[in-house]
Amino acid sequence: MSDMTYRDAINLALREELRRDPTVFILGEDVALYEGSFKVTRGLLAEFGAERVRDTPISENTIIGVAIGAAMGGLRPVAELMTVNFALLAMDQLINHMAKIRYMFGGQTMLPMVVRAPGGGGSQLAAQHSQSLESYFMHCPGIHLAMPATPADAKGLLKTAIRSKNPVMFLEHELLYNSTGSVPDDPEFLVPFGKARVMREGSDVTIVAYSRMAVLALEAAHALEQEGVSCEVIDLRTLAPLDVATIVASSLKTGRAVVVEECCGAAGLGGDIAWRIHAACFESLLAPVKRVSGLDLPMPYSSALEKLCIPQADTIIMAVRDVVNGRT
């Protein structure tokens, strides 16, 4: 095990997979010479050369289209979008092609490709660069969706994604890049898709979260422990496939649940997860499931207003108190 940042864990995963499999290559804006906007691809051009670490024009639609063609031709592209907000410029390729090709070809072709993209709010980058778009991709059949919360999961999930036969959206929260944690040194360390992690066991309430919200949920759980409230924290890891079994088992155990998402509440994925808990656990629940979501607003530039738009540890603490005390 080695302590490293979330950023370096992703870099290590890319490096190991480039060494392991000659069909893996990276493409995107500024991934080579500039080494990525967040320096995730640092040092890869020097080691693997311009054939396997390729700078592209500023055209997200083209980046994804090229990656799709390469994957159909037998390669394993890892396409980086400078920010998930720019995925909106490539939605035709992502939704109409990448997500559907395996189905429309009757399973006769694989599509082993990964689309990496940073996103989320909290960096004071304003409305067009601070969105959380995971609900868009979770809503689309045919796309696997991973959102790691820790450096270890960032490495293990990305390696699993690169080795998959399915197209994977791999979304990284910008505020997690400098977070640190222990990461296995084993180059065969993989984290399976569709298997949530119990970050903390508890008995009074289940908190279901993912990505940076899982980190904040854990922080909230530690604070609530001082009040005598025992929280079980579930990090979903992947949203598609979604580990419903772990969510339901925990909710049955505690009898209460809070679902936390950074994306906007309207038509957000938290509503879907809350419905699944209600459907499976209705007779065992001691209180209605509570949702904590981002506000239904374009992200403001002001840091003070931005903080109000995004769930914080204190927001989660208040929601847990409501559920435990029977307030809806």
H, E, C per residue of 95-131? HHHHCCHHHHCCCCCCCCCEEEEEECCCCCCCHHHCC
Q: Which of 16, 35, 60, 80 is catalytic?
A: 60
Looking at residue 327, its pLDDT comes to: 74
For the stretch 136-161, pLDDT in tens is 999 999 999 999 999 999 999 999 99
pTM: 0.96
Q: Which of 16, 17, 129, 174 is catalytic?
A: 129
Segment 88-115 shows an average pLDDT of 96
pLDDT at 112 over 90: yes
225, 256 Cβ separation under 8 angstroms = no
CATH number of 2-183: 3.40.50.970
Beta bridge partners of residue 119, listed in sequence order: 173
Beta bridge partners of residue 173, listed in sequence order: 119
- Start-to-end Cα distance in the chain: 44
Looking at residue 326, its pLDDT comes to: 81
Return d(Cα 322, Cα 94) in angstroms, integer: 40
From residue 161, alpha-carbon distances to 10, 112, 116, 133, 145 in Å are 12, 8, 10, 19, 9
For the stretch 232-287, pLDDT in tens is 999 999 999 999 999 999 999 999 999 999 999 999 999 999 999 999 999 999 99
- Whole-number mean pLDDT of the chain? 97
Cis, bond preceding 241 (omega within 30 deg of 0): yes
The first and second tokens of residue 293, run together, are 């979501």
Percent of the chain with pLDDT over 90: 98
pLDDT at 328 over 80: no
Return d(Cα 177, Cα 123) in angstroms, integer: 12
Question: Boundaries of CATH 3.40.50.970 in the chain?
Answer: 2-183
H, E, C per residue of 157-172? HHHHHHHCCCCEEEEE
Question: Boundaries of CATH 3.40.50.920 in the chain?
Answer: 197-324
- CATH tag for 197-324 (out of 2.60.260.20, 3.40.640.10, 3.40.50.620, 3.40.50.920): 3.40.50.920
For the stretch 25-73, pLDDT in tens is 999 999 999 999 999 999 999 999 999 999 999 999 999 999 999 999 9
Instruction: Confirm whether 278 is a catalytic residue.
Output: no
Instruction: Confirm whether 129 is a catalytic residue.
Output: yes
Give CA 119 to chain center in angstroms: 9
Percent of the chain with pLDDT over 70: 100
